[in-house]
A and B are shown apart, each in its own frame.
Chain A
Amino acid sequence: MTKFLISLIAIAGFAFSVTAAAQDGAEAKSAEAFRSLDREVQTLKKEVLDLNRDLFLLEEELLFPANSQVAFFISMDVGEYFELDSVSIRIDGKEVSNYLYTLREADALIRGGVHRVHMANLKTGDHELVAVFTGKGPHDRDYRRGATLKFKKGIGAKYVELEITDRLKKHQPEFVIKEWE
């Protein structure tokens, strides 16, 4: 009996080996089943991603046709001590967005990400944008800065980037506005 019991526990004792490739028949079968499923999941992921792309484009074209589309983006080019809290946007006197940033989102902006904060349908012609951001700078100092932009909406889609930067005045963040047609 001694040998029999020892052989059982010895198998259990070696089961913690990290060598995944050392498989007996059942393990090899299970590994093959895993790979086969994994390949299926990979294919599905790719197809669902492609479908999402098509749906994303359709949604955008449907909700914001190119001839009236205006997209407003927020980006940052500031020292590491600036902490963005929120951005509010008014278009032609009407508040259209008041966005509060999580730490994760603010960090993504500081690292170079650009946030599409608002999409709108606007008629061709003249419009006015008023943007205000709030945040904290060095020594826990509160910042609240605004900027106004009069812009012309043409026939095609228009992109407006509101960049919060302290490059112009050291440690004094403010908006710099860029427009793309």
Chain B
Amino acid sequence: MLLCMPAATNATQHDEDNDAIVVENPQYGEVLFYFYQEDYFPAIVRLLAAQQQQQLRGHAVEAELLLGGMYLSYGHHLEAADIFERMLADNVSSKVRDRTWFFLAKIWFQRGYFNKSLDALNNIKGDLPVALRREALLLRAQILIGAGEYDRAIGLLQNWQGETEWASYARFNIGVALVRSGRVAAARELLDDLGNLNPFNEELASLRDRANLALGYALLQDDQPAAAKALLQRVRLEGPFSNKALLGVGWADSEMQHYQRALVPWMELRGRDLLDSAVQESLLAIPYAMAKLDAISQAADHYLNAIEAFYEEANRLDRTMGYIESGDMFDKFLSDDPLATTGWYWQLEELPEGPEARYLFHMLATHEFQEGLKNFRDLNYLQRNLDSWQANIEVYGNMLETRMEAYDDRLPRAQDALGRSDLNGMVSRKLEFDSTLNNIEESYDWLALASASEFKMWGVISGLQSTPALRADFPEAQEVRDKIRLLKGVLQWRLERDFKERLWRMRRDLGNVGEALVATRRSRRQIDESMRSEPRRFSALNDRVNGLLPRIEGMKIRVENALEKQRDFLQSLAMSELQEQKRRLDIYTIQAQFALAAIYDISATAGEATE
């Protein structure tokens, strides 16, 4: 029964109940053959076909649950939910049921169906393994945070047992949510705790950095630069968040008018990758601090360098946007094994090569893009599947036509041959034989079963017996008469001796003839039936072929449209990410130009004053 839980089975790798399988229909076993290879599309098609043909009588309930599980694994979550809502309550253990709702909740959350996700979580009655229970709790908390119900989310998580990564993530999410809603004081304790945690792995170290960064910036905005600096200095210098932390440390010093100190982290940032917004901002921050320190000329040089750097980066962004608009980028996501089915478990594991990846890696990792990409790949698979069927169905149409022509061609010859065969006459003759044999047996007519040579010999002997010369009364004639009588007697003795055996053989042969005649009559009836039904069968198949072809064509158009829309959607996500980066660069450029103009103005005014 655990077969019904592919999502659960796959996600947890193993399940101890999995080996209790008794396959009662080969068709069901065939579905499992594809299912176990995680080849969900052909598995679902075979299951649907077997259900339609009522071939799964021994597995009706399991098959329906398996179908639900496969729909879920294939990412066909709405259909999966329909089945689970109908089937789960009465047919599976609470353990299996809870796991199924959990995975459904997860897939809905990833796809942004938050209410459905919450409904699915509400269906869990408490029989989940500990790891999944924690994840379910976090999922619920995330939904609550999303809905702005921070206090409920905090309440949900405050009884969390143990210092697990999940608990830390949960607290971090709440802290960030509180900051975003302006409740910095409430967030402070949560994020500060996380910022002080002793990480036992890279994941937690990264989370610790993020907590310090988030709270550090929140305090900066809240005019608490000293406290902010202490938090930002906790961030690792070489971690993924170090750029933002260095920038923030500089701003904290700058807020406290320690411009000389602020230059230290900013100058460190200046040599790093310009793609990072913190590095971009440092290019403006450095001349800002220099200007504050009255190093006007150096400040002007740095502003000019920044404008140049922003201009080049903006050009690179423009080229990347042009490439994305061409649509070629998305074909890269299909290039690996385009015919493989995808499903919920597929993940983009490597960034595509090319300049766009460097600008888009944040966006590529989001649920929205990943799930959109899965749909894009799934649609591409459907398109290829339909292409292949379209080619096949045209061949089948031709094949059917050829068969119909061949049938029409052969039918008259077959009817002629059948018309010449006198099956009824053969049956009558067989019955006559039966009757004759009965008479022979009743009258003990041993001579009737003599072979042709024996019968001929009997005739010769009888002919000799009636020869007039042999009727003479002298010794030689008497001797010949005795010899003839002896010969006749021997022949008669042999025929009488073999009579029973010959009769048995004759009956056996007649029996065989009778069976052959019955089989021939049956075949004849089948031929007659085929001749009646075959045109109907051809016509029905022809109708189906003719009906399916437009369905394929119509579906192809719809899939093509959906593929286009999905591509546009992904493209718009990528473009808005790049436009946002471009907008930021534009703002920085304007800031730099404005500051530069101000410096020139101050310099000019100072020059005039000196003159």
Q: Could you tell me which A residues sit within 8 Å of B by CB distance?
A: 1-10, 12-23, 26, 30-31, 33-35, 37-42, 44-62, 71, 73, 75, 104-105, 107-109, 111-116, 155, 159, 161, 180
Contact = CB atoms under 8 A, between A and B. Distances in A.
A145 to B, nearest CB: 21
6 contacts: A14-B179, A18-B142, A20-B366, A40-B562, A41-B379, A49-B48
3 closest cross-chain pairs (CB), A and B:
A21-B146, A114-B29, A113-B33
Contact of B569 (A37, A59, A161): A37
B584 interface: yes
Which of A22, A40, A159 counts the most chain B CB atoms within 10 A? A22
B84 interface: no
B43 to A, nearest CB: 10
A75 to B, nearest CB: 6
Contacts of A4: 591
Nearest to A160: B26
Contact of B545 (A52, A58, A161): A58
A73 B30 contact: yes
A73 B244 contact: no
Contacts of A107: 36-37
B23 A45 contact: no
Given A6-B251, A51-B552, A75-B29, A35 B281 contact: no
Contact of A19 (B74, B142, B362, B548): B142
Interface residues of B, number: 103
Contacts of B514: none
Given A2-B288, A14-B217, A54-B544, 12 more contacts: A18-B169, A31-B368, A41-B379, A44-B379, A44-B558, A49-B48, A52-B389, A55-B392, A58-B545, A112-B32, A113-B37, A115-B33
Contact of B79 (A12, A46, A109): A46
B180 interface: yes
Contacts, number: 243
A46 B82 CA distance: 12
Given A5-B284, A53-B48, A21 B142 contact: yes
A26 B576 contact: yes
A156 to B, nearest CB: 13
Interface string B66-87: 0000000011111100000000
B559 A40 contact: no
Given A22-B180, A33-B569, A105-B33, A49 B379 contact: no
A8 to B, nearest CB: 6
A78 B111 CA distance: 42
B298 interface: no
Given A13-B244, A21-B142, A50-B48, A113 B251 contact: no
A152 B79 CA distance: 43
A37 B32 contact: no
A38 B111 contact: yes
B112 A112 contact: no
B26 A161 contact: yes
Contacts of B179: 14
B147 interface: yes
A160 B254 CA distance: 83
